[in-house]
Chains A and B, each alone.
Chain A
């Protein structure tokens, strides 16, 4: 099995307030989520509701104040190559070429020699063979994000955490990249947790959408998306789901302030 299940039980996290270092502000409260292996779930919520914090907790880069996080029933004790993370900023290492950026995961685990053949496969997967020896600042935003995806995927993570990975892209590139991410997910069947601001993206991509409340973030609602794939962004089912979610987020009837960017 290439995917892991993920359980969050009553997870809470607080940070020191910026102006009063001695008091702590809660960011997340009593979050309980369960992801089945191979599921694609979106996290949607207002800015500052702790979506990114939640991903950092699952990645093992931060630790919760309360509650527990389990991957395949095992508690998360720190970062691991089994849980890949892709940020909004591709964060490619600027001193490495595209090829070496993609190889970084193998090199970090010390298995580059054995698995070098896979590098080519992943460059082909994201369509960047022609740019193997280019440095990151020569790439467009979409290309850079594809490299970041390939870099995360080369370790065959059982969970892939995506923190608004397409947020900085223009609308057309974003829609194309959504299909690419879906294709990668369907090929590899990794468990995916996607943070997004874009309701359309969430509906288009995910099996379920988790809507978080204002800070401190708690779960407001979980909406299963039962539409067949590939989904049609303009079908009536799609649009009615969309208005249902917008209503939940209190944006219905006020089209000028849609959260969809």
Chain B
């Protein structure tokens, strides 16, 4: 449960189907001009472009230590960021939505770019970290561009494997969770099994999965599904069995049959808890995906990382990690959006 609360704290303000004025007002207030910004509005506006210029300067200064093609690519990346920052700073005067957004992300962008500077200084600049294990940001960007075909292919394979395993696990978890949460006999027999088998990390089944499954891909999907199944079942069952008895009583006096009680009362009432299970399951599925791809499956980002490591191409390793971060956080964000939409009735009831 704790983990679930943490997750919901992380969620951002989303518009969803709630009156967007309200949300906009709230975020405008939250990202209102600070006292310093009011004193020097132009200075505040220029924070990001100036930082980008600084990064560009540092890069050009240390560029002699880097292979020319890497250096050129990274110059283009930083240059476009710089240009984008300038354009945004100018445009925001006529575009209030952009202004709010800029105000909100300005500190994050600034610190992010500064971190890139630090990285470049300690790698290409002073050579403080051993190569090939710690390439410069320019090297990582170059690896990403050089190997884009294989990286794209790996991401696609990871996506297919992840989604098939995740969806399988969610469906199975919802079915068993509802049964265990609703029916006495199912709880009696299902709960001990769940308590004993559930906590085993799905990756611990890899040896067994390799023996019994015809293909590594199918066994990997099965393992991901297993990893997802446990938290989804657990939290669905607890959500269902914690349905307020008075909701069920009211529904029965309204003429509800068992089907209505399960699907229209117990499941909606359990949805907040079910979503906690879905988030926990998603985390478990990322872990299992990467492990399964590193040991058995011959495709995907997990495979790519260990393959690149085998060739000591650490630029590619980091490139794959960056893509993994974007890939996983995008999926996580999509699940947040889905939750915000489905649980819109909770808005205002609990702290989001």
CA distance A151 to B247 in the complex (A): 13
Contact assessment for A108 and B345 in the assembled complex, using a CB-CB cutoff below 8 Å: no
Mask, A173-192, CB within 8 Å of B = 1, is 00000000000000000000
Q: Least Cβ distance of B17 to chain A in Å? A: 10
Most buried by B among A59, A60, A104: A104
Contact assessment for B254 and A108 in the assembled complex, using a CB-CB cutoff below 8 Å: yes
B residues within 8 A CB of A138? Answer: 348
Q: Is A87 an interface residue (CB 8 A)?
A: yes
Mask, A233-244, CB within 8 Å of B = 1, is 000000000000
| B contacts with A, residue count (CB < 8 A) | 24
Contact assessment for A85 and B264 in the assembled complex, using a CB-CB cutoff below 8 Å: no
- From 57 to 94 in chain A, residues with beta carbon under 8 angstroms from any chain B beta carbon are 59-61, 78-81, 83-85, 87, 89, 91, 93-94
| A contacts with B, residue count (CB < 8 A) | 29
Q: Given A137-B348, A138-B348, A93 and B254 touching (CB < 8 A)? A: no
A residues within 8 A CB of B268? Answer: 93, 95-96
CA distance A135 to B348 in the complex (A): 10
B residues within 8 A CB of A81? Answer: 253-255
Other-chain residue from A79, A89, A96 in contact with B252 (beta carbon distance below 8 A): A79
Q: Least Cβ distance of A46 to chain B in Å? A: 23
Q: Is B88 an interface residue (CB 8 A)?
A: no
Contact assessment for B255 and A93 in the assembled complex, using a CB-CB cutoff below 8 Å: no
Q: Least Cβ distance of B93 to chain A in Å? A: 37
A residues within 8 A CB of B54? Answer: none
Q: Is A109 an interface residue (CB 8 A)?
A: yes
Mask, B250-279, CB within 8 Å of A = 1, is 111111110010001100110100000000
Contact assessment for B254 and A94 in the assembled complex, using a CB-CB cutoff below 8 Å: no
Contact assessment for A93 and B348 in the assembled complex, using a CB-CB cutoff below 8 Å: no
CA distance A135 to B343 in the complex (A): 11
Contact assessment for A89 and B257 in the assembled complex, using a CB-CB cutoff below 8 Å: no
CA distance A158 to B64 in the complex (A): 90
Mask, A205-221, CB within 8 Å of B = 1, is 00000000000000000
B residues within 8 A CB of A109? Answer: 254-255
Q: Least Cβ distance of B246 to chain A in Å? A: 5
Contact assessment for B246 and A89 in the assembled complex, using a CB-CB cutoff below 8 Å: yes
Q: Given A91-B247, A93-B265, A93-B268, A83 and B349 touching (CB < 8 A)? A: no
CA distance A83 to B253 in the complex (A): 7
A residues within 8 A CB of B265? Answer: 93
Q: Is A105 an interface residue (CB 8 A)?
A: yes
B residues within 8 A CB of A137? Answer: 345, 348-349
Q: Is A252 an interface residue (CB 8 A)?
A: no
B residues within 8 A CB of A202? Answer: none
Q: Closest B-chain residue to A61, C-beta based?
A: B249
Contact assessment for A93 and B252 in the assembled complex, using a CB-CB cutoff below 8 Å: no
Contact assessment for B249 and A108 in the assembled complex, using a CB-CB cutoff below 8 Å: no
Contact assessment for B345 and A105 in the assembled complex, using a CB-CB cutoff below 8 Å: no
B residues within 8 A CB of A95? Answer: 268-269, 271, 345
Most buried by A among B252, B257, B346: B252
B residues within 8 A CB of A107? Answer: 260, 264
Mask, B308-352, CB within 8 Å of A = 1, is 000000000000000000000000000000000000111111000
Could you list 22 examples of A-B contacts with CB < 8 Å? A56-B249, A59-B249, A60-B252, A61-B249, A79-B252, A80-B253, A80-B255, A81-B253, A84-B254, A85-B249, A87-B250, A91-B247, A94-B345, A94-B346, A94-B349, A105-B254, A108-B251, A109-B255, A135-B345, A137-B345, A152-B253, A152-B254
Besides A87-B250, A91-B244, A93-B247, 7 other CB < 8 A contacts? Answer: A79-B253, A79-B255, A91-B247, A91-B250, A93-B269, A137-B345, A152-B254
